[in-house]
Amino acid sequence: NSIQFFLKVVEYAVHGFQWIIVSSITAVFDYSYRWNENVQYGLLVLYIGAYQDLAAVGTIKILVQRERPVENVDDQVY
């Protein structure tokens, strides 16, 4: 089903692991190729914000776990 495929792509695209890898690679290129200082500062602020967001969301998800609804059918497993 194309909608299920699209939803899986969205699910993996917003996962935090990809953001950590992409931002780390960008940071390496950023500082190794000596980009403009304003660009470096802006990216540093974005990195810090992304890591804080991932830490906050992860902490909240660990502390506030909910049970799966009874009606929820596990139809995504093949």
Copy the structure tokens of residue 43.
């990216």
Domain limits of the chain? 15-63
Kindly list the averaged pLDDT for each block of 10 residues, start to end, along the chain of length 78. Answer: 85 82 87 88 89 91 85 66
In this predicted structure, what is the pLDDT of residue 52?
93
- Spatial distance between the Cα atoms of 22 and 41, rounded to a whole number of angstroms: 17
In this predicted structure, what is the pLDDT of residue 59?
94
User: Rounded to a whole number, what is the distance in angstroms from the first to the last CA of the chain?
Assistant: 12
